[in-house]
Amino acid sequence: MDYTNSLDAEAHLDPAIQPGETVVALDADLRAFFLTGATGFIGAYLLRELLDTTNARAYTLVRADTPEQALDRVRENLQSYRLWDDSLEARIVPVVGDLKNARFGLTERAFAEVSEAVDAVYHCGSKLSYIAPYEFLSAANVGGTHEALRMATTGHTKPLHYVSSLGILLDYKEPVGGAEEDDLDEDKCPAVGYFQTKYVAERLVRMARERGVPVTIHRIGLIVGDSRTGISNEDDFVARMIVGSIQAGFAPDVRANMDMTPVDFITKAMVYLSRQKSSTGKVFHLLNPNPINWSGVFDLTETVGYSAEKLPFGEWVEKMDVCADTKTNPLCPLLPFFHINFARRMMGVSGDDYGALRTDSTQAALASSGITCAPIDERFMGVYLSHFVQHGKLTATMEFN
């Protein structure tokens, strides 16, 4: 990325992306929806929640050689999280394509046919890396969002629901300005390629909103497993942190608040909010309103049988660099990340940025839904770590109920 230009200057929205005369309301009955990211963790839960709460068909964008292979990938992903039911297959329409290509790699005719068939676009897909540069990620993350907006405005105009990141707010000079309704501010976006692409992509969505396209923006933070079953994405940041630290026998003693948010809360809240007419144009912060810190996390792991010596952050990084088994420890690929300044912010070492992230408007919008976020407590940690025991990442130390 050319750092002589601002992030805002990177956002270019095709002038042809405009709302049409016919606009689908957020609360309208859905015939079908278009979903990106169905082969990911959040996308799997989002797909299942949408299928469970509507009668709609799901057009799922998947990288594959054939529609049959694409459907196999969706099925296998949902099966891996115990979300698959054979009755779902008849309602899933695989769309072979790629986020990084114009019109997702579809012909103009095929793109228009899919767009005409659906009444909402859920854009969850992205390429995630905390160490890759902006240039490596922008085609999928920025370009993919641009084409999702094109999908939303081709034919009849339908709502676009964009999954953004709370990380775009975390380079605070002062821990203020983190409310849902605040203007986007590139000075708060860290110099991390992934968050930069999410910032620019959200800027595109806001530009479309200014043109009259109905959108909702759902910012998410650190995701953990299902609060009911413990089922988790073993490759996500929190999973690697906890399992990798336990395996090495050392953990960071960091006491600033942070969020760890169960995936089931995020997707239930996202689908509910996306279906409310009053949500049009709004931003939501889907993070756990009950804060925790890394020191407290490892207190909980100890209560369920997994001890690790807690060390100041810098000492922990040094220990992990020399003692973590590069062949088996899941945290090793992320160790370079902990040597950049932003890692200290993200981990809560350099200040309590969590305190600036507001959820007031989001909690008010959810007040009558009955949807609440499970706390990260001993019960949660027990079922969460039991998933890693079942998958051979940890050795069982006790029985969990």
The CATH number of the domain holding residue 92 is 3.40.50.720
Within a domain: 367:
no
- Total domain count, the chain: 2
* Statement: residue 192 has pLDDT above 80: yes
- Residue ending a domain, choose from 270, 286, 302: 286
Q: Confirm whether pTM is higher than 0.85.
A: yes
State residue 401's pLDDT score.
Answer: 44
Within a domain: 316:
yes
18-64 pLDDT, tens digit per residue, is 999 999 999 999 999 999 999 999 999 999 999 999 999 999 999 99
Q: Are residues 332 and 233 in the same domain?
A: yes
237-268 pLDDT, tens digit per residue, is 999 999 999 999 999 999 888 889 999 999 99
| Span 91-103, average pLDDT | 98
Report the distance separating Cα 126 and Cα 112, nearest Å.
22
301-339 pLDDT, tens digit per residue, is 999 999 999 999 999 999 999 988 888 999 999 888 888
State residue 396's pLDDT score.
Answer: 82
Q: Are residues 316 and 187 in the same domain?
A: no
Q: Are residues 204 and 240 in the same domain?
A: no
Within a domain: 98:
yes
Range of the domain at 315: 224-259+291-355+374-390
Within a domain: 153:
yes
Within a domain: 401:
no
Structure tokens of 109? Answer: 């005719």
Within a domain: 364:
no
Q: Are residues 265 and 246 in the same domain?
A: no
Select the more confidently predicted residue: 334 or 89. 89
Can you state the angle between helices 237-248 and 378-390, rounded to 10 degrees? 80
Select the more confidently predicted residue: 178 or 15. 15
Q: Are residues 275 and 304 in the same domain?
A: no
Q: Are residues 90 and 139 in the same domain?
A: yes
Handedness of CA 260, 240, 139, 196 (dihedral sign): positive
381 band by pLDDT with thresholds 50, 70 and 90: very high
Q: Are residues 218 and 303 in the same domain?
A: no
State residue 400's pLDDT score.
Answer: 47
78 band by pLDDT with thresholds 50, 70 and 90: very high
Q: Are residues 99 and 145 in the same domain?
A: yes
Mean per-residue pLDDT over the chain, rounded: 92
Q: Are residues 184 and 281 in the same domain?
A: yes
* Statement: residue 352 has pLDDT above 80: no
Within a domain: 369:
no
266-301 pLDDT, tens digit per residue, is 999 999 999 999 999 999 999 998 888 999 999 999
Q: Are residues 239 and 153 in the same domain?
A: no
- Residue written as token pair 């088996």: 328
Within a domain: 62:
yes
Structure tokens of 306? Answer: 């997994």
Q: Are residues 299 and 171 in the same domain?
A: no
Q: Are residues 252 and 115 in the same domain?
A: no
